[in-house]
Amino acid sequence: MSTLSPVTDATFADEVLASDTPVLVDFTAGWCGPCRMIDPVLGDIAAEESRFRIVSLDVDANPETTAAYGVLSMPTLMLFRAGQPVKSLVGARPKRRLLAELDEVL
């Protein structure tokens, strides 16, 4: 699955909500084709980007967080800043488009 740092229901509060920097959470699933398509894009961005971190959350293994944020489709990318979701994007997209959409709230 993803090469991004994983978070779980147990670590979500510490890793995402308490983070001093914005965190983009990739709500993903191993069976999801579009999730596999966006994985390399997110990996590239994670290696290049210093304004925010990117983590992945397996929706099947972490139902509490998935339900708490109303995630119904994968992949859902949700940017958290100061413990609050500030942007939510559903579906795979190219790197340039994803960065442009995130720039609006960074």
Taking the C-alpha atoms of residue 46 and residue 55, their distance in angstroms, rounded to an integer, is: 9
For residue 5, give the nearest of 33, 47, 37 by alpha carbon.
47
Query: 4, 7, 23, 35: which one is catalytic?
Result: 35
What is the arithmetic mean of pLDDT over 50-75?
Answer: 97
- pTM of the entire structure? 0.96
Burial of 106 (0-12, 13-18, 19+ CB in 10 A): middle
Per-residue pLDDT, 16: 98
Q: What is the pLDDT of residues 3-62, one digit of tens each?
A: 799 999 999 999 999 999 999 999 999 999 999 999 999 999 999 999 999 999 999 999
Q: What is the pLDDT of residues 87-103, one digit of tens each?
A: 999 999 999 999 999 99
Active site residue 32: yes
Query: 4, 23, 32, 92: which one is catalytic?
Result: 32
Strand partners, 26: 56, 77
